[in-house]
Structure 1
Amino acid sequence: MALRESFTELMKEAMKAGDKRRVGTLRMITAALKDRDIEARGQGKP
């Protein structure tokens, strides 16, 4: 399982459990991963 997919699964579990702090943390992590991907595309990296 890819890193991004594991974070998504963890976020789903945290949402079901009602753990707001964990959901927020996982959302920040996934947002940082997306930002890194966008920045890499701007530099010509896949």
Structure 2
Amino acid sequence: MYIDEYVIAGLIIVGLTIAFFGGFYRAIKNDIKKHGDGSEQSHT
């Protein structure tokens, strides 16, 4: 496979995007575990 700077830049962007959304997912899961999912509707 031919590797040039555009392929490397694309792989870096894909990796950073996956890392960003993975961190976002982990932060949301941690917040739900800490505060609950809000389904009880007690705070109107």
> If the length of structure 1 is used for normalisation, what is the TM-score?
0.56
Identify unmatched segments of 5+ residues in structure 1: 1-12
Identity of counterpart residues, as a percentage? 10
The structure with the greater share of residues assigned to helix is 1
- Write the deviation string for residues 18-39 of structure 1: whole angstroms up to 9, x where unpaired: x101000110000000001000
Q: Return structure 1 stretches of 4+ with deviation > 4 angstroms.
A: none
Aligned residue-pair number: 30
CA RMSD across the alignment: 2.3
> If the length of structure 2 is used for normalisation, what is the TM-score?
0.58
